[in-house]
């Protein structure tokens, strides 16, 4: 689905993606480059997320999906994982929630929520409950998320419901993914110099435009986002036609 919209930006006619995905990569490498502890990179990355999310909604992005913690990230050190879990909890604090709630943003956490700490699971339930009726924009935070895990859990639901094979098609599978009911992302941005999607929305991104930034996530700015939108605006999306 091509839900992109055009917005005027000076003399340019910039096309803003309706659904934007971001792989926020490079926190640890940024910290090492600046001679800082690894965990400092994650803290700086959270600050960047808040800034970029605000700017996305200001520009007219309606759905923002960010890759915060992958299923593979559980293999990192216990110290780093524990720190990240506390950081995610702070991200969902009352102050941040109040700001997003006032802007009419609905918050969804997608992924294996059952693997998260109980305290964080409780906070997630509260946030999703409070923002559930918001309609101006959507923020999907992918926590303990993996594209393959997403597809597997969808298949398990379909099998459990005993849906006949003749009724199973792409539309039906999409209804059981963690992003059910949402259009696929129009554009996916990855920071950190890597050029792969690393198990992020692999079903949903079949026809997404990809943009790779050489900047590490903590140093990604609003100007960098504008460059990505401009690059996206100059592409022709044919969807195989």
Which sequence positions are flagged as catalytic? 25, 73
Give the residue among 5, 21, 69 at the shortest CA–CA distance from 179: 21
Task: Give yes or no for a contact between 46 and 87, defined as CB atoms under 8 angstroms apart.
Answer: yes
CA–CA dist 183, 201 (Å, integer) = 12
Report angle CA 20, 26, 30 to the nearest 5 degrees: 135
Q: Is 145 left (phi over 0), alpha (psi -120 to 50) or beta?
A: beta
d(CA 95, CA 56): 19
Q: Cα–Cα distance between 133 and 105 in angstroms, integer?
A: 9
Question: Alpha-carbon torsion 51, 52, 58, 63, what sign?
Answer: negative
Which parts of the chain are beta strand (E)? 5-9, 12-16, 19-23, 63-70, 105-110, 137-145, 187-190, 209-212
3-class DSSP assignment, residue 238:
coil
Whether 24 contacts 69, CB under 8 Å: no
């Amino acid at each position: 689905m091509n839900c992109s919209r055009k917005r005027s930006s000076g003399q340019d006619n910039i096309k803003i993606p309706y659904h934007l995905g971001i792989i926020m990569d490079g926190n640890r490498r940024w910290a090492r480059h600046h001679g800082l502890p690894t965990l400092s990179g994650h803290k700086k990355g959270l600050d960047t997320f808040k800034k970029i999310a605000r700017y996305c909604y200001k520009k007219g992005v309606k759905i923002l999906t960010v890759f915060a913690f992958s299923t593979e990230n559980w293999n990192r050190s216990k110290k780093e994982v524990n720190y990240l879990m506390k950081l995610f909890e702070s991200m969902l604090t009352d102050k941040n929630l109040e700001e997003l709630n006032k802007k009419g943003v609905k918050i969804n956490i997608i992924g294996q929520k059952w693997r998260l700490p109980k305290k964080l699971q409780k906070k997630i339930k509260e946030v999703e409950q409070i923002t559930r009726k918001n309609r101006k924009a959507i923020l999907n935070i992918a926590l303990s998320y993996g594209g393959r895990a997403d597809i597997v859990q969808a298949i398990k639901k379909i099998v459990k419901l005993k849906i006949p094979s003749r009724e199973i098609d792409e539309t039906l599978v999409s209804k059981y993914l963690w992003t059910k009911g949402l259009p696929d992302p129009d554009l996916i941005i990855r920071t950190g110099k890597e050029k792969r999607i690393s198990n992020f929305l692999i079903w949903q991104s079949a026809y997404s435009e990809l943009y790779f930034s050489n900047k590490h996530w903590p140093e990604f700015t609003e100007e960098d986002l504008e460059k990505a939108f401009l690059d996206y605006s100059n592409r022709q999306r044919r969807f195989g036609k």
